[in-house]
C-alpha cells in the first residue's frame, strides 16, 4: 500500500510525522492548509496506492478537457513529503481514506517505527461557536497526559466521538511506543472555505512543539487578509454582528461553552437571515 522512495529518506534527523486529511474533522481545511504550507518546499518521500484507499465515487478524480478533447485524469493522491531540517518534518496529507483504515494505519505505524519517528502530530479543525475576532483556540489530544500542554482545552472526563482517520493512525502509531499529539483548531462555523487563521495557529503549534524552523510569513499574511475581509463582511449586518458578539462573550468568559442546543439555535437564526444564494463568510 505504501511505496517509499528510500533515498529521499537518507540522513533523517529526529523525524516528526505530521498528518492531516481533508474530510471528517477538517473544518476550514485548517489541518491540510497548515500541512501543505509546512511542506511547500518538501520533496515527496513516499506515496500510497490510492486504489486501496479511496472510493472514487466519493473522492472523484478530476477530468481535464481542452476544446472538448479529454487530456488527462487527475487522481486523488496521498503522499508523505520530507522537509529536511533539525528535526525533519514528514508531512502526510491528502483526502481522508474511505477504505482499509486498519491496514492503512498499521502500515503508517510500521513505517514510523522503522524510520525512527520521534513524534506524530495530527492536525485538523472542528466547527465551533467561535468568533473570528479572537485568537484561534486549539483543542489538544495526546497519547499521554504530560503531552497535552498547559492549555489543552480538552474535554474533562470520558468523551466518545466519531473517529477520523487521523485518530486511527494516532492509535496505531502510539501502539508502537511513539508519542502522539492531536491539534484541533476551533473554526468559526459561519466561515465558508479555508480558514487561514486556524491553519496559521496549527502551523505555529507544530513549530513550537518540534523546534522546526518553518517560514510562516506568507501564511500569516493570508490570515491577516482574511481577517480583514471577514471584518468587512460582518459590518452592517446586524444579525451577523449579533452572532459574532454572542460568541465573543462566550470566548471572553474563559471556557464557558454553549450547549449544543444553544449553538443550533444561534446557527438557525443566522441562516434565516441569509439569502438563499449566500454561502458562509470568507
Q: Mean of the pLDDT values across residues 28-43?
A: 95
The domain that holds 231 is classified in CATH as 3.40.50.10900
Query: In this predicted model, what pLDDT tens digit does every residue of 56-104 receive, in sequence order?
Result: 999 999 999 999 999 999 999 999 999 999 999 999 999 999 999 999 9
Task: List beta partners, residue 139.
Answer: 184
Residues 6+ apart with CB under 8 A from 100: 1, 52, 53
pLDDT at 265: 53
Please tell me what DSSP assigns to residue 61: P
pLDDT at 266 over 90: no
280 falls within a domain:
no
Q: Which three cell numbers stand for residue 229?
A: 475581509
Q: Is the pLDDT of residue 258 over 70?
A: no
Report if residue 281 sits inside a domain.
no
More confident residue, 190 or 19: 19
DSSP character at residue 149: -
> What is the percent of the chain where pLDDT is above 90?
71
For residue 86, give the DSSP letter.
Answer: S
Question: 274: pLDDT confidence band, cut at 50, 70 and 90?
Answer: very low
Position 124 in a domain = yes
Q: Residues 113-127, buried b or exposed e (16+ Cβ, 10 A)?
A: eebebbbbbbbbbbb
Helix runs in 211-277, H state only: 217-234, 238-252, 260-272
Which string of DSSP letters, residue by residue, matches 204-221? HHHHHHH------HHHHH
- The strand pairing partners of 128, in sequence order, are 188
Query: Looking at the predicted structure, is the pLDDT value of residue 275 above 50?
Result: no
Enumerate residues 6+ apart whose C-beta is below 8 A from 178: 109, 112, 113, 117, 118, 119, 120
Please give the average per-residue pLDDT across 17-26, as a whole number. 93
The pLDDT, as a whole number, for residue 71 is 97
Give the pLDDT band of residue 268 (cuts 50, 70, 90).
low
80 found inside a domain: yes
Give the chain's domain count: 1
What letter does residue 97 receive in the DSSP assignment? P
Query: Which whole-number Å values give the CA distances from 174 to 36, 107, 138, 167, 197, in the listed order?
Result: 24, 13, 21, 10, 29
Pairing of strands 2-4, 43-48: antiparallel
* Mean pLDDT estimate for the chain: 89
Domain-embedded: residue 122: yes
Q: Which residue has the cell 472542528?
A: 126
User: Is residue 47 within 8 Å of 90, Cβ to Cβ?
Assistant: no
Query: Per residue in 206-257, pLDDT tens?
Result: 999 999 999 999 999 999 999 999 999 888 888 888 888 988 888 888 654 5
The interaxial angle of helices 196-210 and 217-234, nearest 10 deg, is 150
- Secondary structure letter of residue 68 according to DSSP: T
What's the confidence (pLDDT) of residue 196?
97
Cβ atoms of 164 and 21 within 8 Å: the answer is: yes
Give the span between the Cα atoms of 153 and 250, in whole angstroms: 14
- Is residue 277, in this structure, part of any structural domain at all? no
Range of the domain at 136: 2-272
Do the domain assignments include residue 230? yes
Confidence of residue 159 (pLDDT cuts 50, 70, 90): confident
Asked whether residue 278 is domain-assigned, the answer is: no
Q: Are β-strands 138-142 and 79-83 bridged in parallel, bridged antiparallel, or unpaired?
A: unpaired
- The gap from C-alpha 135 to its chain's centroid, in whole angstroms, comes to 17
Amino acid at each position: 500500500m505504501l511505496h517509499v522512495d528510500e533515498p529521499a529518506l537518507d540522513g533523517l534527523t529526529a523525524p516528526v510525522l505530521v498528518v492531516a486529511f481533508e474530510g471528517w474533522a477538517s473544518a476550514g481545511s485548517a489541518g491540510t492548509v497548515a500541512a501543505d504550507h509546512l511542506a511547500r518546499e518538501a520533496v515527496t518521500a513516499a506515496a500510497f496506492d490510492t486504489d486501496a484507499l479511496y472510493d472514487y465515487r466519493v473522492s472523484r478524480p478530476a477530468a481535464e478537457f481542452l476544446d472538448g478533447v479529454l487530456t488527462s485524469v487527475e487522481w486523488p493522491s496521498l503522499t508523505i513529503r520530507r522537509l529536511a531540517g533539525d528535526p525533519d518534518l514528514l508531512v502526510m496529507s491528502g483526502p481522508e481514506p474511505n477504505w482499509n483504515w486498519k491496514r492503512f494505519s498499521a502500515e503508517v505505524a510500521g513505517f514510523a517505527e522503522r524510520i525512527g519517528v520521534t513524534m506524530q502530530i495530527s492536525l485538523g479543525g472542528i466547527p465551533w461557536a467561535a468568533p473570528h475576532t479572537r485568537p484561534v483556540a486549539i483543542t489538544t489530544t495526546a497519547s499521554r497526559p504530560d503531552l497535552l500542554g498547559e492549555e489543552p482545552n480538552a474535554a474533562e472526563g470520558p468523551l466518545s466521538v466519531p473517529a477520523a482517520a487521523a485518530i486511527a493512525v494516532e492509535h496505531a502509531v502510539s501502539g508502537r511506543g511513539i508519542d502522539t499529539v492531536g491539534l484541533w483548531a476551533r473554526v468559526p462555523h459561519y466561515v465558508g472555505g479555508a480558514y487561514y487563521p486556524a491553519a496559521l495557529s496549527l502551523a505555529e503549534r507544530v513549530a513550537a512543539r518540534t523546534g522546526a524552523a518553518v517560514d510562516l510569513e506568507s501564511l500569516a499574511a493570508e490570515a491577516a487578509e482574511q481577517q480583514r475581509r471577514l471584518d468587512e463582511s460582518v459590518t452592517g449586518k446586524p444579525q451577523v454582528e449579533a452572532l459574532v458578539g454572542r460568541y465573543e462573550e462566550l470566548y471572553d468568559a474563559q471556557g464557558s461553552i454553549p450547549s449544543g442546543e444553544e449553538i443550533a439555535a444561534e446557527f438557525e437564526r443566522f441562516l434565516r437571515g441569509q439569502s438563499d444564494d449566500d454561502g458562509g463568510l470568507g
